A and B are shown apart, each in its own frame.
Chain A
Amino acid sequence: MNSSNWIWRSVSIISAAATLLLIAGFVYAIQDVNYPQRAQGAGDLAESVKPPKGTSNDAIQDKKELKVAALGDSLAKGTGDSTGSGFVRRSVQEYSKDTGKKVTLLNNLGINGLTTTALLPKLEEQGTQYVLAKADVILLSIGGNDLFRGADLFTSVKNTSPNESSSSAVKKDSEVSKTSTQAKVQEIKPEDILKALPQASLKLQKILVKLREINPNAVIIYVGLYNPFGDLEQLKIPGNEAVTTWNNAALSLINKNGNMMLVPTFDLFQQNLNKYLSSDHFHPNGDGYQQIAERIVQSIR
């Protein structure tokens, strides 16, 4: 009976203590959820540690280790590449294969459908700034959605999010939307594409200035636009014209800063749309991204 007494005494004492503690926690939790003490402490924490600004000023070629960050629209994300790599991962791989250096991709911040308008507020965010400030190379792809969305002919294709479409049933889907795009394209006046240009290039300038402010030393590589409609009679010439105008505008912005460059893709796709475009007829496929990646690597070799 002695052991029973001992069991009873220890179990009852521990469980009573535990119950009291848990009840206290329970009451505290109800109070905290229902009547939160306003912003106690949260303000004190706000003084966040700024990441060390910029990386060393050495030229890219001299660095032993390279950190890459990518930013922008679906092209940066790699939409259309069935392997999911996109030009970002591909150029990271190519570059490290090419030079034997350790190249790390910090973050790929590409978001489908991003326009210059939507990118600007993102640059104010702490997390984005932190990533960008750490990078040696910043890959930027933006503007495509401003240009072609401004003319509003891309909404139908965009919605099918081709990176997820792998089954044959889904493929059929994008087939359908492709034809509907083509139908839509007929009604588009080519001038509409040009209309979005001045606004967008102004925003691009702001983006580049902001990027430079966040990271004064990184090499910023802007991926130029191509014309995905080069094989459509009505849009070939005006599309080319719009894309070229945009690329020229971008280039003249970029040329004002020594450590930025534009990697052209226009010529890559001009005659090779069937080869390099994915089934959504807008984004590059794996091969297309590979070509872009090789260009990028060539520019910083």
Chain B
Amino acid sequence: MSSLIPLVKNETIKIIKKKRFYVILLILLVLVPIFTYAQMRSAEHSREKFNGDWRLETQQQITDNENSLGSDRVPDEWKKFRKIIVQQLQYYLDHDVNPKEPNGVTFTREFMNNSVSLFIPLLIMAIASDIVSSERTTGTIKMLLTRPVKRWKVLLSKLITLIMFTSLIVLSTFVITYAISGLVFGYKGFDIPVFTGFQISGSDVDMSAVHAVPQWEYILMQSGLIWFVSLTVAILAFMVSVLVRSTAASIVVMMAALIAGSILTNMAAAWNSAKYLFMVNLQLTDYLSGTPAPIEGMNLTFSLIVLSIWAIAAIIVSFAVFTKRDILN
């Protein structure tokens, strides 16, 4: 243990000094204003159309969804999805709560919801894909391993550092999104009630367990789930980084997997066993908001188990390969 902390410290300083973390912050600082602007424009648009009356807008959304239910051109899965949306929106209207109250906190919540399966994993990969393979590209791995430290300790120190930075990335995404969107939409909104606990069975929503939580509690839960997703992605990218020699290749492998996941979630309803793939299970926040899962039979526990198994397997593979492999070349 005593030899581990200096190693973690060393890795941390390397990441900071190599400016990896700054790059991530920079990406956030550039992209979040763009999303904020887009959201602002669409808010302006709906204010024009509905005079800023969210009840009218929500009611129109319900009517539009109901209209599409009658069309035979709409696939059945979408109809199911829309029926659920209609029931949820109706619930918000019945309780006189604006589902999209425009403020910085709501924007942050929506933004995090949308970025959990692709954007945040991408940021994580900027560090995770590079953490082992870069040492091999530059050859510094040999110097690292000639020290009188066991190999598994070297790898473990890297993994711990990665977990630390995963938490930092999730946190800074929240902070930066809130800080920037707050400039436009205002910093209030932590106390607004958000409904959670919609139990979906088939195309019906069981409302008996629905309860309101203040938005800050919702965001806390949401960030916890996002953290778990990020951790899984980080560990998988870590494994790829151990297995593949070049950083570029390891990024490409992970990107391919993530993009495949986002395509699959849109069309995999017919392929039931796709639910065992990790990339289909990344939208953990959907269970909180009550969005139906992409494949029948998925729930929070199921997704957590699938992600955990993938992560544990990845850790085992990483350590097995790293401690046994010949690093001479």
Contact = CB atoms under 8 A, between A and B. Distances in A.
A256 interface: no
Interface stretch (B207-215, B242-250, B316-324): B207-215
Given A25-B222, A107-B60, A161-B70, A42 B211 contact: yes
A280 B60 CA distance: 26
Interface string B215-244: 001001111110110000000000000000
A22 B168 contact: no
B95 A161 contact: no
B168 A11 contact: yes
Contacts, number: 174
B221 A19 contact: no
Size bracket, chain B contacts? 35 or more
B95 A46 contact: yes
A166 interface: no
A22 B211 contact: no
A126 B94 contact: yes
A110 B63 contact: yes
Contacts of B97: 45
B164 interface: yes
A41 B213 contact: yes
A18 B163 CA distance: 11
Label chain B's interface by main secondary structure: helix
Contact of A34 (B9, B51, B94, B301): B301
Contact of B228 (A8, A26, A110): A26
B141 to A, nearest CB: 21
B66 A111 contact: yes
A106 interface: yes
Contact of B56 (A4, A22, A107): A107
Contacts of B55: 51, 127, 130-131
A111 B287 CA distance: 30
A109 interface: yes
Contacts of B167: 15, 18-19, 22
Contacts of B304: 30
A28 B219 CA distance: 11
B196 interface: yes
A18 B170 contact: yes
A25 B213 contact: no
A46 B17 CA distance: 54
Interface string B274-290: 00000000000001100
Contacts of B67: 77, 110-112
A32 B59 contact: no
B193 interface: yes
A166 to B, nearest CB: 12
B90 interface: yes
Contacts of A125: 90, 93-94
A205 interface: no
Contacts of B176: none
B183 to A, nearest CB: 23
A29 B163 CA distance: 20
Contacts of A160: 72
B86 to A, nearest CB: 10
B12 interface: yes
A106 B57 CA distance: 9
A200 B302 CA distance: 49
A72 B71 CA distance: 17
A127 B208 contact: no
Nearest to A130: B55
A145 B301 CA distance: 46
B300 interface: yes
A15 B165 contact: yes
A10 B16 CA distance: 11
A25 B63 contact: no
B59 A128 contact: yes
Given A11-B168, A23-B227, A36 B12 contact: no
B220 A28 contact: yes
Contacts of B165: 15
A37 interface: yes
Contacts of A46: 94-95
B73 interface: yes
Contacts of A109: 59-60, 63
A38 B211 contact: yes
A241 B300 CA distance: 60
A160 B195 CA distance: 37
Contacts of A23: 224, 227
Given A23-B224, A161-B73, A34 B90 contact: no
25 contacts: A8-B9, A15-B167, A18-B167, A23-B224, A25-B221, A26-B221, A26-B224, A26-B227, A29-B225, A36-B197, A39-B209, A39-B211, A45-B95, A45-B212, A46-B95, A48-B95, A106-B56, A107-B63, A109-B63, A125-B94, A126-B93, A127-B93, A128-B59, A131-B59, A161-B72
What are the nearest 4 A-B pairs in CB distance? A25-B224, A26-B224, A48-B96, A29-B221
Given A14-B168, A36-B209, 15 more contacts: A11-B12, A14-B171, A22-B167, A22-B223, A25-B222, A29-B222, A32-B196, A32-B197, A38-B209, A41-B211, A77-B67, A106-B56, A107-B56, A125-B94, A130-B55
